[in-house]
Amino acid sequence: MAELVRVAVDAMGGDHAPAEIVKGAVEAVNADERVKVFLTGRKEEIEAQLKNHTFDTSRIEVVHAQEVIETAEPPVMAIRKKKDSSIVKALYMVKDGTCDAFVSAGSTGAVLVGGQVIVGKIKGVERAPLAPMIPTENGVALLIDCGANVDARPSHLVQFAKMGSIYMENVVGVPNPRVGIVNIGAEEEKGNALVKETFPLLKNCPEINFIGSVEARDIPMGGADVVVCEAFAGNVILKMYEGVGAVMLKKVKAGLMTSLRTKIGAWLVKPALKQTMKGFSTEEYGGAPLLGLNGLVVKTHGSSKAVEIRNSILQCVTFKEQRIADKIREKITLEN
Amino acid sequence: MAELVRVAVDAMGGDHAPAEIVKGAVEAVNADERVKVFLTGRKEEIEAQLKNHTFDTSRIEVVHAQEVIETAEPPVMAIRKKKDSSIVKALYMVKDGTCDAFVSAGSTGAVLVGGQVIVGKIKGVERAPLAPMIPTENGVALLIDCGANVDARPSHLVQFAKMGSIYMENVVGVPNPRVGIVNIGAEEEKGNALVKETFPLLKNCPEINFIGSVEARDIPMGGADVVVCEAFAGNVILKMYEGVGAVMLKKVKAGLMTSLRTKIGAWLVKPALKQTMKGFSTEEYGGAPLLGLNGLVVKTHGSSKAVEIRNSILQCVTFKEQRIADKIREKITLEN
């Protein structure tokens, strides 16, 4: 048998913890025999959930952690003080090599800060970007960076472009991914100071397939495979997806419920409509990796249910087998 | 009879010029007897269009301009060189007081640059922001700034908040409009350097109803009436509306056409669906004013048809009657 991929999972993080997290972990080990999960958190609560499931007991371990970091806590302080929390314990397991990866639906801030502080960045990596998959008209794109570190410098964005290309090519399977920089126009001379300074650096970067500027309008249309931006813009893009999507869905639903006529029509169209809309949600794509670390850290949406947790864990297998961290290390170290 | 509101209209600007522009101008003077329109552009082409319509000939004048500024031209150069263009001539008519306002569906860059350079900013106004209306779940909000001047400073954002409040209150009729600053989290300590510096300034500004940060997700939900941001973020927000909206509409349409069953259903739901979706489009709200100038300059979407041109012209009436430029002058001069 091949080597196991060992994934620490924050059993206490997210809106549906621990029930859905534990369920997702069980589904992951049942779906792929290369996976071993370490559930971190309150032992009794986790074990009470595990009793409801059937699984290979040699591939799920419970690691007790008494504390829980709440979403509202200031992350730096929480990481420093709550050493016995499900997040901090799991991150140390990645750091010391007990685990290959960590998946959490808990505090984004704590996962981002903890990932950089405890697991640590690959030598030469200036910043570890958070890179969620976003839906496009006929596929997906990688949005890099959506993390907590705003006010990026041009050199950061160049590293994001390289790391994002490696991820898209090796984990998602998009050959020679098209890299675009988010801009307010298509021309090279447009943009703010950051974009103007970064543009020529990307243009002169032989290892990536840089296609120039991508306007926000073209991101949902699939204008680029790797969408490079600093974290403030990335956050705005990601949350506009959620906001516009949610309001439009409400409008569609309202339209379907206006009269008896539309209600009958709704009954006829709903299943097909659900199907076509399904792919176009930012929550469909499991976790967002925090790239550039000495190990994999994956942040999933706070509202994640078992299916997202399962997918995020399974994603770690590809990440490890494709040796993404090594590939990033090679590419970034080469530069320095 | 009250004083006429004199609006210069760029008959050569936009995808559907001159036919739809001329039609919109005719509809505006027919809809409101306080309106007089000066159509700038190639006289022969404009007059050929005017022949198709019936209107009070004393309230539409044609002002010949031989040149047209194309969308792709670098704006600063175009404004400087093409003195005999429909845009430059119209802007000089606002500057010298022949007209109160200018409406164009042409080159955004040329309108923005020309507005500031030719019409000129109100004394004390540091930057003239472009402020389109955006749809929200149950109404509209003003997104300020979406212009071409990126890398704003905190003092600019404070002026945007004040000018936006005046516009929302007096033109749109929202009493005591809620002002929010676009941010990546709700807490005061979040954000990039610009937002962190601007936040306390807005908080200590007695003339506006500042409600704190607004996350991008909450903008379409109606989280604020005046959405303050620098132009790069504003452009991303506006274009994400367009992009996500367009792709979701395609998905809905695809869902309605998957089978005979859904096609019958589609026939039943389509009229109501169209109705509920209609309000949620960025193109519904006519033009975006360029605020803070010595006169009104309105930029409408390049794809504008007669109805948007008409609405943009009629908007100028409220703008003039509510003395928006005066109110901005009073508020900004007070500060200096």
CA distance B260 to B139: 36
Residue B43, C-beta contacts closer than 8 angstroms, at least 6 positions apart: B62, B64
CA distance A166 to A39: 29
Taking an 8 Å cut-off on Cβ atoms, the answer to whether B151 and A193 are in contact is yes
Taking an 8 Å cut-off on Cβ atoms, the answer to whether B252 and A252 are in contact is yes
pTM of the model: 0.90
CA distance A326 to A328: 5
- Interchain contact A244–B (C-beta under 8 A): yes
What per-residue confidence (pLDDT) applies to B335? 62
- Interchain contact A250–B (C-beta under 8 A): yes
Q: Which of A242, A248, A280 comes nearest B280 by C-beta?
A: A248
Cα-to-chain-centroid distance, residue B273:
27
- Tokens 């019409």 — which residue? B119
What per-residue confidence (pLDDT) applies to B266? 84
Cβ B192 vs Cβ B253: under 8 Å: no
- Interchain contact A276–B (C-beta under 8 A): yes
Confidence of residue A259 (pLDDT cuts 50, 70, 90): confident
The top-scoring range by mean pLDDT among A82-86, A279-283, B264-268 is A82-86
Cβ B132 vs Cβ B282: under 8 Å: yes
Cβ neighbour number for residue B203 with a 10 Å cutoff: 12
Taking an 8 Å cut-off on Cβ atoms, the answer to whether B267 and A265 are in contact is yes
B245/chain A closest Cα distance in angstroms: 7
- Tokens 């964005």 — which residue? A157
Taking an 8 Å cut-off on Cβ atoms, the answer to whether A265 and B264 are in contact is yes
CA distance A241 to A220: 9
Taking an 8 Å cut-off on Cβ atoms, the answer to whether B220 and A231 are in contact is no
Residues 156-215 of B with CB under 8 A from A: 182, 184, 191-193, 195, 215
- Which of A100, A103, A119, A102 has the alpha carbon at shortest distance from A2? A100
Q: Which of B150, B182, B258 comes nearest A184 by C-beta?
A: B150
Nearest CA in chain A to B281: A248
Count of residues making up chain B = 336
Q: Which of B221, B235, B276 comes nearest A216 by C-beta?
A: B235
- Interchain contact B242–A (C-beta under 8 A): yes
Residue B206, C-beta contacts closer than 8 angstroms, at least 6 positions apart: none
Residues of B with Cβ-Cβ distance to A282 under 8 angstroms: none
What per-residue confidence (pLDDT) applies to A275? 79
Cβ B326 vs Cβ B166: under 8 Å: no
pLDDT at A307 exceeding the cut of 80: yes
pLDDT at A187 exceeding the cut of 80: no
What per-residue confidence (pLDDT) applies to A16? 95
Could you read off the pLDDT of B101-147 as tens digits, one per residue?
Answer: 999 999 988 999 999 999 999 999 999 999 999 999 988 999 999 98
The top-scoring range by mean pLDDT among A27-41, A236-250, A253-267, B311-325 is A27-41
pLDDT at A335 exceeding the cut of 70: no
- Interchain contact B294–A (C-beta under 8 A): no
Nearest CA in chain B to A275: B255
Confidence of residue A21 (pLDDT cuts 50, 70, 90): very high
What per-residue confidence (pLDDT) applies to B182? 97
Taking an 8 Å cut-off on Cβ atoms, the answer to whether A241 and B244 are in contact is yes
Question: In chain B, which residues have pLDDT < 70?
Answer: 1-2, 279, 281-286, 334-336
- Interchain contact B254–A (C-beta under 8 A): yes
- Interchain contact A24–B (C-beta under 8 A): no
Confidence of residue A291 (pLDDT cuts 50, 70, 90): very high
pLDDT at A336 exceeding the cut of 60: no
What per-residue confidence (pLDDT) applies to B284? 60
Residues of A with Cβ-Cβ distance to B219 under 8 angstroms: 240, 243
- Interchain contact B134–A (C-beta under 8 A): no
Q: Please compute Rg for chain B using Cα positions.
A: 21
φ/ψ of residue B39, rounded to 5: -85, 120
- As beta bridge partners, residue A5 has A35
Nearest CA in chain B to A192: B150
**Residue B273: helix, strand or coil by DSSP?**
helix
End-to-end C-alpha distance for chain B, whole angstroms: 38
- Interchain contact A239–B (C-beta under 8 A): yes
A71/chain B closest Cα distance in angstroms: 12
CA distance A131 to A115: 14
Q: Which of A192, A235, A272 comes nearest B184 by C-beta?
A: A235
Measure Cα distances from A249 to B221, B265, B273 in Å: 12, 18, 11
Taking an 8 Å cut-off on Cβ atoms, the answer to whether A255 and B246 are in contact is no
Taking an 8 Å cut-off on Cβ atoms, the answer to whether A273 and B264 are in contact is no
Q: Which of B148, B233, B275 comes nearest A233 by C-beta?
A: B233
- Could you tell me which residue, A254 or B201, shows the higher pLDDT? B201
Q: Which of A184, A215, A240 comes nearest B244 by C-beta?
A: A240
Q: What is the residue type of A29?
A: V
Taking an 8 Å cut-off on Cβ atoms, the answer to whether B248 and A246 are in contact is no
B269/chain A closest Cα distance in angstroms: 5
> Taking the alpha carbons of B313, B318, B321, B323 in that order, is the dihedral positive or negative?
negative
A-B interface: how many C-beta pairs under 8 angstroms? Answer: 192
Taking an 8 Å cut-off on Cβ atoms, the answer to whether B275 and A255 are in contact is yes
Nearest CA in chain B to A280: B248
What per-residue confidence (pLDDT) applies to A332? 84
Secondary structure of chain A in the HEC alphabet? CCCCEEEEEECCCCCCCCHHHHHHHHHHHHHCCCEEEEEEECHHHHHHHHCCCCCCHHHEEEEECCECCCCCCCHHHHHHHCCCEHHHHHHHHHHCCCCCEEEECCCHHHHHHHHHHHHCECCCCCCCCECCEEEECCEEEEEECCCCCCCCCHHHHHHHHHHHHHHHHHHHCCCCCEEEEEECCCCCCCCCHHHHHHHHHHHCCCCCEEEEEEEHHHCCCCCCCEEECCHHHHHHHHHHHHHHHHHHHHHHHHHHCCCHHHHHHHHHHHHHHHHHHHCCCHHHHCCEEECCECCEEEECCCCCCHHHHHHHHHHHHHHHHCCHHHHHHHHHHHHC
Could you read off the pLDDT of A137-177 as tens digits, one per residue?
Answer: 988 999 999 987 788 999 999 999 999 999 999 988 999 99
Cβ A293 vs Cβ A116: under 8 Å: yes
- Interchain contact B267–A (C-beta under 8 A): yes
Give the burial class of B49: count Cβ atoms within 10 A of its Cβ; 0-12 exposed, 13-18 middle, 19 or more buried: buried
Q: Which of B74, B232, B239 comes nearest A192 by C-beta?
A: B232
Q: Which of A216, A247, A280 comes nearest B220 by C-beta?
A: A247
Nearest CA in chain A to B265: A265
Give the burial class of A39: count Cβ atoms within 10 A of its Cβ; 0-12 exposed, 13-18 middle, 19 or more buried: buried
Q: In what order do the strands lie in the sheet with B5-10?
A: B60-64, B35-41, B5-10, B101-104, B296-299, B288-290
Q: Which of B236, B247, B261 comes nearest A268 by C-beta?
A: B261
pLDDT at A2 exceeding the cut of 90: no
The crossing angle, in degrees rounded to 10, of helices A154-167 and A193-203 is 50
Token pair of A83 as six digits: 């050493």
Confidence of residue A284 (pLDDT cuts 50, 70, 90): low
